[in-house]
Amino acid sequence: MKHPWAVRIGVVLIAVTLAILPFALAQVGTAWVRITNYAVLYILLALGLNIVVGFAGLLDLGYIAFYAVGAYTYALLASPQFGLHLPFWIILPIGAAVAAFFGVVLGAPTLKLRGDYLAIVTLGFGEIIRIVLNNLSRPVNITNGPQGIGGIDPFRVGEFSLASPQEMFGLDVSGPIKYYYLLLAVLIAVILVNLRLQNSRIGRAWEAIREDEIAARASGINTTNIKLLAFAMGATFGGVAGGMFSAIQSFISPESFVLVESVMVLSMVVLGGMGNIWGVVLGALLLSFVPEILRWTVEPAQMALFGRMLIEPEVIRMLLFGLALVLVMLFRPAGLLPSAVRQRELTARGQGELTERST
């Protein structure tokens, strides 16, 4: 390490910034704290998907289904829908387990498929789950259909609820600020878990499968089980994030789990740098914050220039998003912070046997 002191100072600076961030943002508006919280949720999703797509090389276009499963599991167990109000520390592991189960069930049929077909089948599964959630209000009302489930319990420990504002240590701590710290803690844990997974026997097995599945099998790797493990782990992270999403937003509906969301999370992974944990974090941050900053600036700018909204920020956001996807694939396909392995993979295009993608 060249400049250990620089690194240490940098880490301390980042830690301090992260610690005071919510209060700084709250000065601008509580909305920004909420935006940050959703950004962290997206980072969690992107990290989960990164296991499937980045580590194991399985192109999943329906990842949001696991988010949905986690969210609905929490909602069904902690809301007026069934009158159940289990505490979060019981529900989250249940949600994680249910999501992992779905990960295996949805992953199993895809194991023998090649790359694009895998993508399409996972896309299909994602949509099927959404449609089912949207329609499970008849004949028996399980999910309340398109109206969604409201009144979802926040995280609570005894009297201490994460949703209500209170005064702590002389500061005004709002609900979103409390959730921020929880999310930050979870994020740090998840990043750590991912780093350790990447650098382990399982992580290497995933890499082997991604590089050359036939050689991986010949090396004694049970590719079926290892692939299912990737799906299960990715799904677990998605499920946990989903549970937190339910509690934070206190209302969920199938609208939050549409195909565009799967594409969004995939884009965060791809744009940031598939396989590179920090790249993925960066990708998620960019794709979460840039649209919000856009909306913040574009709305008043258009009002000032034209006197009305010519183009809704939402449309601009999606146009830029689509353009970003195309441009990144053309000019920097390995992503903004490419992993060294991916960089090699993508710059040696079409050169000989060894680099051939035998998806």
Partner 1 sequence: MDTFLQQLVNGLTAGSVYAVVALGYTMVYGIIQLINFAHGEVVMIGAMVAFTMINLLAPAGMPALAVLLIGTGCAIPVCMLVGYSMERFAYRPLRGAPRLAPLITAIGISIILQHLALLVWSRNVLAFPQIIESRTYMFGGTAITNVQVAIIAICFAMMAGLALLVYRTPLGTAMRATAQNPQVAGLMGIDTNRVIAVTFIVGAALGAVAGVLFGTYYGVAQYTMGSILGLKAFSAAVLGGIGNIPGAMLGGLLLGVVEALGAGYIGDITDLCHYGVFAGTLEACKDGGNFVLAGSNYQDVFSFLVLILVLVFRPQGLLGERVGDRA
Partner 2 sequence: MNLLEGRGIGKRFGGVQALSDVSFSIAEGEVFGLIGPNGAGKTTLFNVLTGIYPPDKGGFAFNGRALDGLKAHQVAVAGIARTFQNIRLFANLSSIENVMIGRHARTRAGVWGAILRTRRTLEEEDGIERRALELLDFVGIRARANAPAGSLPYGDQRRLEIARALAIEPKLLALDEPAAGMNATERVALGKLIQAIRASGVTVLLIEHDVRLVMNVCDRVLVLDYGEKIAEGRPAEVQSDARVIEAYLGRPRAA
Site membership for partner 2, residue 341 (CB under 8 A): yes
Given 50, 236, 246, 267, the residue binding partner 1 (CB under 8 A): 267
d(CA 11, CA 69): 35
Give the one entry of partner 1, partner 2, none that residue 222 binds, where binding means its C-beta sits below a cut-off of 5 to 8 angstroms depending on kind: partner 2
129, HSE (Cβ side, Cα atoms, 13 Å): 28
Label residues 243-263 b or e (16+ Cβ within 10 Å = b).
Answer: bbbbbbbbebbbebbeeebbb
Task: Note whether 280 and 106 are within 8 A (CB).
Answer: no
Site membership for partner 2, residue 208 (CB under 8 A): yes
Question: Omega into 109 within 30° of 0, i.e. cis?
Answer: no
Q: Which residue is associated with the tokens 């895998």?
A: 118
* Least Cβ distance, residue 195 to partner 2 (angstroms): 10
Given 85, 114, 344, 349, the residue binding partner 2 (CB under 8 A): 344
Give the one entry of partner 2, partner 1, none that residue 292 binds, where binding means its C-beta sits below a cut-off of 5 to 8 angstroms depending on kind: none
Considering the complex, state which of residue 124 and residue 300 has its C-beta at the smaller distance from partner 1: 124
Site membership for partner 1, residue 138 (CB under 8 A): yes
d(CA 268, CA 45): 9
d(CA 223, CA 37): 36
d(CA 107, CA 119): 11
Given 131, 185, 301, 303, the residue binding partner 1 (CB under 8 A): 131
Please tell me the total number of residues recorded for the chain in this structure. Answer: 359
Give the one entry of partner 1, partner 2, none that residue 211 binds, where binding means its C-beta sits below a cut-off of 5 to 8 angstroms depending on kind: partner 2
Please report the beta strands in the chain, taking only residues with DSSP state E, as ranges in sequence order: 78-79, 84-85, 149-150, 156-157, 160-161, 166-168, 171-173, 251-252
User: Which region, judged by CB under 8 A, interacts with partner 2, from 74-82, 139-147, 321-329, 344-352?
Assistant: 344-352
Site residues, partner 2 (CB under 8 A): 193, 196-197, 199-205, 207-208, 211-212, 214-223, 229, 233, 341-342, 344-345, 348, 353-355
Question: Which residues make up the interface to partner 1 (CB under 8 A)?
Answer: 59, 109-110, 112-113, 115-117, 119-121, 123-125, 127-128, 131-132, 135, 138-139, 259-260, 263, 266-267, 270, 311, 315, 318-319, 321-326, 328-330, 333, 345-346, 349-350, 357, 359
